[in-house]
Amino acid sequence: MLKDGGRWYVSFRVEDGLAESTPNGGPPVGVDRGVQVAVATSDGWMRDRRFITPGEAARLKRLQQQLARRRKGSNRRAATKAKIGMLNARIRNRRTDFVAWTADRLTRSHELVIVEDLKVTNMTVSAKGAREAPGSRVRQKAGLNRAILAKGWGGLLTTIEHKARYNGSRIVRVPAAYTSQCCSACGRVDAKSRESQAVFVCTSCAYTGNVDVNAAKNILAAGLAVTGRGDLAFGRSVKRQPPEAEAA
């Protein structure tokens, strides 16, 4: 039993008795999860959504400020906490809806869905550190953590794996190393190729494309190599190591 946003919920886990669906025959796809765009695929499909409106963000900030001023244990503090809980529940519901729709679309359209094996829990650990050994770039890391959690990275993968069982799809996880720095056209790994959060321009072959889509293509290539299905249009598996420095 769980209380969320002023409402009580009860969940039951039962065996549905359904067998896994037969493969749906759709083409394989690589999926990249990002902080600018929530989902980008190797075939160029991109999906994102704002889960909180500007007005709600301003109201949430005001409520959090009110909560800090309220006396602990007071009725006013409890009322403010309830309002914050209801607003956060609304945001979570939108994220859940987004994740469910996206996962259903991916697993219905593709027989093989390849994703990065990201340890989201570890990635979102605070960089604050301890008093004896304080962390560095704490504020920047906190902002990244919020962005990752806001996009629902962990929930998306869980939902994709659940939907795959019923939609005739299979999920493959691949290492995430260098997928955002590797050129999907020539395989060159260079951090300088990422001109911005949105634009990828290869320093070797001048291939230009969206950063997230380029990463999704690398994820696809890596997954196809792992499953032994070949690299299809890419003609090679993604490189996993950065190139050696050229001699001076």
**What's the rounded Cα separation, in Å, for the pair 212 and 234?**
17
Pair of tokens at residue 170: 């299979």
118: its two tokens:
């990201």
Whether residue 21 contacts residue 165, with contact meaning beta carbons closer than 8 Å, is answered with: yes
| The one catalytic residue among 4, 111, 195, 212 | 212
> Is residue 15 among the annotated active site residues?
no
User: 48, 116, 244, 246: which is the annotated catalytic residue?
Assistant: 116
212 is catalytic: yes
> Annotated catalytic residue: which of 20, 32, 104, 190?
32
Other beta carbons within 10 angstroms of residue 120's beta carbon come to 16
Nearest to 98 by CA among 57, 152, 44: 152
Catalytic residue check, 32: yes
Question: In degrees rounded to 5, what are phi and psi of residue 30?
Answer: -100, 140
Looking at the annotation, which residues are catalytic?
A: 32, 116, 212
